[in-house]
Amino acid sequence: MNKYQAEIKIKKLSDEIEIHNHNYYVNDAPTISDFEFDKLLEELIELEKQFPELILPTSPSQRVGGAVTKVFKSVKHTYPMLSLSNSYSTEDMIDFDRKVQEGLGLQPNDLFSSSSVNYVCELKFDGLSIGLTYKDGELVQAVTRGDGVQGDEVTVNVKTIKSIPLKLKGNFPSDFEIRGEIFMARNIFDQINKEREEIGEQALANPRNAASGTMKMQDSAVVASRKLDCFLYYLLGEDIPFKTHFENLNAAKSWGFKISKHSKLLNNINEVIDFIDYWDKERYKLPFDIDGIVIKVNDYKQQLQLGFTAKSPRWAIAYKFKAEQVSTELLEITYQVGRTGAITPVANLKPVALGGTVVKRASLHNADIIEKLDVRVGDVVFVEKGGEIIPKIIGVDFTKRKANSQPTNYISKCPECNTELKRVEGEANHFCPNDSACPPQVKGRLEHFASRKAMNIDSLGSETIDQLFKAELIKDIADLYELKKEQLLPLERMAEKSATNLLEGIEASKQVPFERVLYAIGIRHVGETTAKKIAKKVKSLEALIKLTKEQLLETDEVGEVIAISILDFFASEINRNMINRLKNAGLTLELTQEQQKAGSNKLNGFTFVISGVFNKHSRDQLKELIEFNGGKNSSSISSKTSYLLAGDNMGPEKLKKAQSLAIKIINEDDFEKMINE
Ligand code: IVH
């Protein structure tokens, strides 16, 4: 294929992929299978690899991420990003309506007549606000709120959000900004927390924090994996097509934006109040969190007339839902042992309706909180469902405390294995140190080991693990590789076929590549990405075991916490024995010949600093190439730097420093020659 043909094909593929993205992520109505979609995307990426000069900033390949931003550029908002004043009651709403009418010089309306102000009611999405600028139909910039005057430019990260169009369709203005809310759907949030729990990371508190934390991440590939979403709700610009907000929302929808189907044009404040009441009850059925309703005057002329205060528009207001609160009896406090040994006290409650579900349990967090609230069994407690998913106890109704009530004594021994609990200085939770034999910890590790992204042993689900553990056939992951069919067959629900499947699955896992084995063995804080980076650098488990802390710290992604966790893991004799048994069983504990051969030592002993923007490779790709060929990356120039690999728009400071230290400056072509020679 020549370059001209490639250009045509790339355009065709890109358009097709974006239509499918829109169908899937905006319309919720996919028209091809994931497999077919992946094939199209792979074809595009392959072509772009052959013709890197044809990669467009709006290419769907940009959604995969890969670019790393160390520091986000601070950008001034074209229009300041104001917030809304809050209201909490029907009275507040009536008051808002009165002020709007007054501001417009209208006679205060009888509550029940139709007024001449129309309102648009929208869901108040609980995420982080974003301003997207489009020029000639292409997304050129995405900026966070920041302090309202200037925010962070996070365009590379935003491009990974599939529901945000990179190119618009239809009849859009040539230059405008659209604002909206980036959020994380609840099912994605739950899934991420499950994975975090598996590797011993602290759970993210709520979807809002998860979304805003994700937007600040440096590695856009990780942002892509977090599957954020975005609703848009506010257009700004010189030539916005319509004179009312609602018409413009509909127009924006036709250009390809994700506009909530729940936005409604209403005739008066009574209808607004009904809308609020409806969503106060129904909000729990949505797949994402909202924390209220936003009410906006529909007509732009009226908006202009009403204007702004220093902080917020007078033509709009946010109604915030109250966190629903109920009181009920605390029947018992039980203690859960997590996969990492962390102990969580759980309040078992007399069942009570709250936030659309019946609540029977609530989190009590840790010993300090129990003590601070002075919660006791038999108390009547207040329970709230706030932004957090799990309801929490926020206080005790002391007027109802029984005379014979006893202060709560926090447990001192593990409820699962009776080991004395420990508490690490500075950490809130107690934990059970018996990680090698405490049942939920052992089973948790086995489940993680068998999970899809780890060893992917399909036939080894949590029930089977439970069964094998109870029958004392497995106590650690190495035991799996010593299982015999005769041991399995006597077990309940374990027919010949399922036993064979299980053993075949375990056998097949011996071919799983080293980086996934490294993730699977469950070293605390070593997630999928970190495992990959470590595997690539050290090449074998044997080499990893020998590394010192300083050497570990030289690996990308490995900081103090991870380094110490790795050292601790291999310092344990139990773990070293287990690794030996895995080795004898024939697991893949090093990179394959193929993986090893692919690299070279051409850049051995050289340290590179990359700066600027490049034509053929992303900065991440360049970094990988450097490491792949035995070189080292560094972010700052010093006398140890061998080469400054310079692209376009390089920072002048870096250039000056490199020149003053007489460091060789090379461009992308020079670099390619170095590794291809
Ligand atoms: S309109 C000038 N509409 O709530 C008006 N905001 O406290 C701009 N939000 O900063 C905001 N859903 O981050 C608007 N449907 C919606 C919204 C919404 C959520 C957020 C937004 C805003 C904050 C106001």
Mean per-residue pLDDT of the chain = 91
Q: What is the residue with the minimal CA distance to atom 12 of ligand 1?
A: 124
- At 519-550, the pLDDT tens digits run 999 998 898 888 988 998 899 999 999 999 99
Confidence at residue 593, expressed as pLDDT on a 0 to 100 scale: 72
What is the average pLDDT across 406-410?
95
* 505 and 642 inside one domain: no
What is the average pLDDT across 472-485?
95
Centre of ligand 1 from the C-alpha of residue 316, in Å: 9
Confidence at residue 638, expressed as pLDDT on a 0 to 100 scale: 87
Phi-psi region at 183: left, alpha or beta (left = phi > 0; alpha = psi -120 to 50): beta
Confidence of residue 293 (pLDDT cuts 50, 70, 90): very high
Confidence check: pLDDT of 1 > 90: no
Q: Which of 511, 536, 567 is the last residue of a domain?
A: 511
CA–CA separation, 195 vs 202, rounded Å?
Answer: 10
CA–CA separation, 457 vs 453, rounded Å?
Answer: 10
Mutate to test the pocket of ligand 1, among 245, 294, 296, 311 (most ligand atoms within 8 A of CB): 294
Assigned token pair, 201: 């990371």
* 496 and 531 inside one domain: no
Confidence check: pLDDT of 109 > 60: no
Nearest one of 159, 152, 103 to 128, comparing CA atoms: 152
In a domain, 500, yes or no: yes
Burial 165-186 (b: 16+ CB within 10 A, else e): bbbbeeebbeebbbbbbbbbbe
* 167 and 209 inside one domain: yes
In a domain, 30, yes or no: yes
3-state secondary structure at position 246: helix
* 492 and 622 inside one domain: no
* 557 and 648 inside one domain: no
Is the distance from the beta carbon of residue 297 to the nearest atom of ligand 1 less than 6 Å?
no
Centre of ligand 1 from the C-alpha of residue 318, in Å: 8
In a domain, 576, yes or no: yes
* 194 and 177 inside one domain: yes
CB 533 within 8 A of CB 524: no
- At 578-622, the pLDDT tens digits run 999 999 999 999 987 767 766 777 888 899 999 988 888 888 778
Side-chain-facing half-sphere of 592: CA atoms under 13 Å: 7
What is the average pLDDT across 391-406?
92
CA–CA separation, 522 vs 446, rounded Å?
Answer: 9
CA–CA separation, 133 vs 240, rounded Å?
Answer: 13
- At 174-226, the pLDDT tens digits run 999 999 999 999 999 989 988 887 787 777 878 999 999 999 998 888 899 99
* Position in ligand 1 atom list of the atom nearest CA 122: 15
What is the average pLDDT across 491-514?
94
Assigned token pair, 434: 């018996």
Nearest one of 661, 616, 614 to 636, comparing CA atoms: 661
Mutate to test the pocket of ligand 1, among 82, 122, 129, 179 (most ligand atoms within 8 A of CB): 129
Nearest one of 526, 93, 53 to 269, comparing CA atoms: 93
Centre of ligand 1 from the C-alpha of residue 180, in Å: 7
Mutate to test the pocket of ligand 1, among 120, 124, 304 (most ligand atoms within 8 A of CB): 124
* 203 and 292 inside one domain: yes
Query: Can you say whether the dihedral through the CA atoms of 86, 89, 92, 97 is positive or negative?
Result: positive
Domain count, the chain: 5
Nearest one of 246, 260, 406, 394 to 327, comparing CA atoms: 394
In a domain, 427, yes or no: no
- At 543-575, the pLDDT tens digits run 999 999 999 998 877 889 899 999 999 999 999
- At 114-129, the pLDDT tens digits run 558 999 999 999 999 9
Is the distance from the beta carbon of residue 129 to the nearest atom of ligand 1 less than 6 Å?
yes
In a domain, 284, yes or no: yes
Assigned token pair, 656: 């000056």
Residue range of the domain that includes 587: 514-597
In a domain, 315, yes or no: yes
Confidence at residue 300, expressed as pLDDT on a 0 to 100 scale: 96
* Position in ligand 1 atom list of the atom nearest CA 126: 19
CA–CA separation, 215 vs 74, rounded Å?
Answer: 14
- The CATH number that applies at residue 186 is 3.30.470.30
Q: Which residues are catalytic?
A: 124
> How many CB atoms neighbour CB 136 within 10 A?
11
Confidence at residue 623, expressed as pLDDT on a 0 to 100 scale: 86
Q: What is the residue with the minimal CA distance to atom 11 of ligand 1?
A: 83
Confidence at residue 451, expressed as pLDDT on a 0 to 100 scale: 92
Burial 448-474 (b: 16+ CB within 10 A, else e): bbbbeebbebebbeeebbebbbeeebb
State the alpha helices, DSSP H only, in 1-129.
Answer: 3-21, 34-50, 90-103
Centre of ligand 1 from the C-alpha of residue 83, in Å: 7
- The CATH number that applies at residue 632 is 3.40.50.10190
Cα 538 from chain centre:
28
Strand partners, 501: none
In a domain, 143, yes or no: yes
E strand spans, 42-126: 74-76, 86-87, 119-125
Confidence at residue 239, expressed as pLDDT on a 0 to 100 scale: 92
Confidence at residue 134, expressed as pLDDT on a 0 to 100 scale: 97
Q: Which of 467, 483, 511 is the last residue of a domain?
A: 511
DSSP codes joined into one string, 546-573: H--HHHHHTSTT--HHHHHHHHHHHH-H
* pLDDT higher at 64 or 134: 134
* 207 and 274 inside one domain: yes
Q: Which of 64, 86, 105 is the last residue of a domain?
A: 64
- The CATH number that applies at residue 527 is 1.10.150.20
Centre of ligand 1 from the C-alpha of residue 85, in Å: 10
Confidence check: pLDDT of 64 > 90: no
* 507 and 518 inside one domain: no
* 481 and 528 inside one domain: no
Confidence check: pLDDT of 111 > 60: no
* 260 and 177 inside one domain: yes
* 216 and 137 inside one domain: yes
- At 139-151, the pLDDT tens digits run 999 999 999 999 9
Identify the H or E element spanning 576. Answer: helix 573-585
* Own/partner long-range contacts of 600-604 (Cβ < 8 Å, ≥24 apart): 600/628, 600/629, 600/630, 600/675, 601/629, 601/630, 602/629, 602/630, 602/674, 602/675, 602/677, 603/629, 603/630, 603/631, 603/674, 603/675, 604/630, 604/631
